[in-house]
Amino acid sequence: MPKFALQLQAQFTNVTSLLPGDGDYTLMVKTKCTSCHEVHPKLIGITPSDEKELQKGRDTANLVMKCNFCKKEASAKFDEPTSKAPLYRPIEANEDSGAEFQTLCVLEFRGLEPVEFVPQGTWTCKGLSSGTVFDAVEFDDGKEWMDYDEKAGDEVSIMELESRWQRA
């Protein structure tokens, strides 16, 4: 079954380790039906703790839906987390080579394909040298966040946030 990795990249200034604020963070995605190729008109939320039963078989998934157009059943499921690869993996600053796509999470999609990700909600990151925890990071326009690190006496920011879905 096709797996897709959600990858993020950004320009980090004095911060690193970008992660969703909640371990049960709901991914807001745009999806496309793999049967009729219609893009679903609304953003769809996929939540790790959601367990939905598939119509056929005994499998469960984190998202089960029907295409509005061709009525085919589609589902999405997060990869089982392991100690080496937790469900959400931090996106680290890369000072040497600048912005670089890193995997945030991996999901298996059946009957649909992800085409877009919208970074809604609250995220966290850490001061690069100070270790200050910023736990109210929000990307208002989907791309930028700025704050001030009192401990380090420095401005901190995450700019040019971009995402992509890669076949995994």
Q: Which residues bind Zn ion (CB under 5 A)?
A: 33, 35-36, 67, 69-70
Q: How far is the CB of 61 from Zn ion (least distance, A)?
A: 17
Taking the least distance from each CB to Zn ion, the nearer of 6 and 67 is 67
- Give the CA angle between residues 116, 61, 109 to the nearest 5°: 40
Q: Are 163 and 154 in contact (CB under 8 A)?
A: no
158 Cβ contact partners less than 8 Å away, ≥ 6 residues apart: 10, 11, 12, 13, 15, 18, 125, 137, 139, 144, 145
Distance between CA 92 and CA 112 in Å, rounded?
Answer: 29
CB 21 to Zn ion: min, Å: 34
Residue with smaller CB distance to Zn ion, 35 or 122 = 35
Q: Which is nearer to Zn ion, 113 or 149 (CB)?
A: 113
**Pick 55 or 83: Cβ nearer Zn ion:** 55
Closest separation between CB of residue 96 and Zn ion, Å? 44
Compute the distance between CA of residue 164 and CA of residue 162 in angstroms, rounded to an integer. 7
CB of 65: closest distance to Zn ion in angstroms?
Answer: 10
